[in-house]
Amino acid sequence: MNIPVKDPYFFGYGSLVNARTHDYENVQAAKLKGWRRAWRASPLRAVCYLTAVPCAQSEIDGLIASVPGADWDALDHRERAYARVPLAGEVTHQAGDVEVAVYAISEGAHSEPTAENPVLLSYLDVVVQGYLHMFGRAGVDRFFATTDGWHAPIQNDRNAPIYPRAQSLTTAERALVDDWLASLPAETKQRL
């Protein structure tokens, strides 16, 4: 008797929350306990990206989606600056008993942001749009509150996006991102 094998899932906490940036199915809201998001620099990329970092007191919103046939190749390529980390009971979701992995930059392979590696505004726009669509305004608020590294400079590339999965935002979505950035304390932000 062949027992069907369940597809594994990934936990997305950044651009993967925006379902417009991928074709993975069985997307649903989830929470990851014991981790936070952080803007980090890596020698593998010229700009800052989000990563998940262990933090026992934290919990972050995100989504899970299935990886059909456990064919991780395309997602591993997309997330090539990260290591795929298997998770155990840290993820709360409604998918039943499935394996879940998160992509995170390996410890020691990232550092604090500097002026030389800004956050692309087009990337932040994609992330915020995903949180808004998945979790509403409260989810966007939680995203900003549970993410470290807001002292990273922000490079405004909206008119000519550098981020390869940039999305069109509505006027209201752009205003939401801009309002949040404007609300950050001056000592924690830089604009390029």
Do 22 and 130 contact (CB within 8 A), yes or no? no
Return the structure tokens found at 146.
Answer: 């549970």
- Which residues of 81-186 form beta strands (DSSP E)? 83-87, 91-92, 100-104, 119-120, 147-148, 153-155
Q: What is the pLDDT of residues 120-168, one digit of tens each?
A: 999 999 999 999 999 999 999 999 999 999 999 999 999 999 999 999 9
Residue with structure tokens 């995903």?
130
Q: What is the pLDDT of residues 18-53, one digit of tens each?
A: 999 999 999 999 999 999 999 999 888 889 999 999
pTM here?
A: 0.92
Task: Compute the Cα dihedral for 119, 124, 173, 55 and give only its sign.
Answer: negative
pLDDT of 189 strictly over 70: no
Q: How many CB atoms lie within 10 A of CB 16?
A: 27
Q: What is the pLDDT of residues 47-83, one digit of tens each?
A: 999 999 999 999 999 999 999 999 999 999 999 989 9
CA atoms within 13 A of residue 104's CA, in its CB half-sphere: 17
- Give the residue-averaged pLDDT of 95-121: 91
